[in-house]
Structure 1
Amino acid sequence: MTAVLHRRGFAAFLFDMDGTILDSIAVANRIWARWAERHGLDAAEILRVMHGVQAVQTVRRFAPAGINVEEEAAAITEAEVAETAGVVAIPGAAPFLQGLPPERWAVVTSAPRRLALRRLWAAGLPVPAVLVCAEDVKNGKPAPDCFLAAARALGVPISDCLIWEDAPAGIAAAEAAGATVIVVGATHPRRLETPHPVVQDYVSFHVEADSTGALTLVALGQEGKRP
């Protein structure tokens, strides 16, 4: 986390879900690998690019000719809703989110609402007042529509938001929206190449709100004390 983020106050925090506040990668990879195998597709290629985008976009990109894209995407979603074993919160995410003013944060995900609620519940995370999901926007990530919709719902300028992301599609969407971006690297086996600040989890800092409600990240010292 850079000194720039330490000093700056933000009107709101916008969080991606999968890979950012919770880890569902093992579950998603299992389900998508099964789908790829069933259709004779390259599972490794699908798993490389499917994170952070709507299921229907991935199905449309890879499905063989003649496949009903909407039906296939719906079946994948049902499988993901049913299979929550292994869905866990990113370390420190639960208390971090619980400590934020309810009107100052949102979750912005490419998952359908039913799946998003199921995974938040499975990970023991709070459900925000503003939850922007796949069915809420016409164009999914990497388009900026979802983040712009969340900022509007919170009543704040997108330029005053800090967007928390983990996947290339989401980072591109955040950049296109014109927000400041911070990358969560907890689920990446190798450091993601990005010009944005990277944090591994939510345990090494907390948030302070000033008299206007602006949110500022404050790093903790080595002994867990404020610097």
Structure 2
Amino acid sequence: MVIRSPFLFIMFLRFSILSSMAFMYHMVSQFKSKINTMVTNSRKVKITCGNDEFVVKGVVFDKDGVLTGGFDLWKQIFSLYMKVASQKGLCVEKVAIDLFGVDEDPSIAPLSLCTMEEAKCLLAAAIWLMHKIDWATCRKLSQEIVEEAQRVISPEMVYSPLPGAKELFTLLSQHVPVAIATSDSRSNVEEMFKFWQVELPIIVSAEDVKRGKPFPDMLLKVSSLMGIPCEDLVVFGDSLGDVQMAHSAGAKAVAVGIRIPEADSWVQSLLEVSVEVLE
């Protein structure tokens, strides 16, 4: 293209220079962003649990039994389900105790591991086994029982942090990426952090993957979102499913509140965990 007018030539030149500057600024910004990501992901912490030490670039927590609640809380909620069921004329407690594993090892019991949808299904199965009414009605009654029970459950009851949980979570978040991998719903996790008044971390729930625990899918998604290999992560959990998820993805696992032989370490509570930041 030939520009004959001096005025048009100057305007064209100015436009070309400004366009080039804008492009260079964009490229530099992108480069800086990548550098910052790499620096963040290269920082490490040394986590000490008793006699065991783990040098990692990221930390993953299960929710229930690690940060909040636990098996005792789920027993209380189960009792509420049974109370509501009884008010509806349903006598299901005996078979429901077996189906949910209320009196079994917490690290493997459905009561501590199942998703909310699975809990509704188990409750519907208890209704079917005891009353032999049509399955659609069993499912409808199960849904009603859960919804009515949840109306009387306070945020303090389900979201209050266990000893050391909020403090450890906050400390780690200042230095390395932190995530939640839970069988609970995303909305419940968000409500918990709202109750804690803590900024949301990376959250991966059962809703976000095809296969939940003990499969590695949740941790693989966390790894992808963090940009950190699973080998550089440690998982804090309270069930065999948490440990199996971690190991199948290549991460380390620390059992919380209960000894799990397959875990790499264990602590009675998160108060026993110490952190050293490594530059």
| TM tier relative to shorter chain | 0.7 to 0.9
Aligned residue in 2 for 1:86: 157
CA offsets 1:80-107 (integer angstroms, 9 cap, x no match): 4761343321211111111113551111
Q: Normalised by the size of structure 2, how large is the TM-score?
A: 0.62
Q: Residue in 2 aligned with 1:147?
A: 219
Residues 20/11 of structure 1: CA separation in 2 closer, same or farther (3 Å cut): same
The residue type paired with residue 120 of structure 2 is V
Match of 2:189 in 1: 116
CA RMSD of aligned residues (A): 2.9
Unaligned 5+ segments in structure 1 are 186-190, 212-227
User: Unpaired runs of 5+ in structure 2?
Assistant: 1-48, 103-108, 129-134
Look up the equivalent residue of 2:164 and give its one-letter code: G
Q: 1:69 to 1:55 in 2, by over 3 A?
A: farther
1:156-171 aligned within 5 A: 156-171=228-243
Taking the aligned partners of 2:216 and 2:151, their CA distance within structure 1 comes to 26
Q: Would you tell me which structure has more helix in proportion to its own residues?
A: 2
Q: State, as a whole percentage, how many aligned pairs show the same letter.
A: 22
Q: CA deviation at 1:50?
A: 2.1
The farther-off stretch of 150-159 and 25-34 is: 25-34
Distance 1:60 1:54 in 2: 10
CA distance in 1, matches of 2:139, 2:241: 20
Distance 1:17 1:56 in 2: 17
Aligned residues: 203
**How far off is 1:137 after superposition?**
1.5
Assess, with a 3 A threshold, how the Cα gap between structure 1 residues 100 and 133 changes in structure 2: closer, same or farther: same
Q: CA deviation at 1:110?
A: 0.9
Give yes or no for contact 1:31–1:76 (8 Å, CA) kept in 2: no
- Kindly state the Cα deviation for residue 143 of structure 1 after the two structures are TM-superposed: 2.0
- The 8 Å contact of residues 243 and 262 in structure 2, kept in 1 or not, is answered as no
Matched, 1:178 2:237: no
Inter-CA distance 163–72: structure 2 relative to 1 (3 Å threshold)? same
Structure 1 position 181, deviation (Å):
0.3
Distance 1:158 1:29, change over 3 A: same
Query: 1:59 is matched with which residue?
Result: 120
- Structure 1: distance between partners of 2:81 and 2:61: 28
Given the superposition, is the C-alpha separation of residues 34 and 92 from structure 1 closer, same or farther in structure 2, using an over 3 Å criterion?
A: closer
In the alignment, residue 79 of structure 2 is paired with which amino acid? A
**Greater Cα radius of gyration, structure 1 or 2:** 2
Q: TM-score, normalised by structure 1?
A: 0.74
Contact persistence 1:28–1:80 (CA under 8 A): no
- Deviation per residue, 1:97-151 (Å, 9 max, x gap): 11113551111111111112223444x2634430112321122222221121111
Distance in 1 between the 2:73 and 2:178 partners?
26
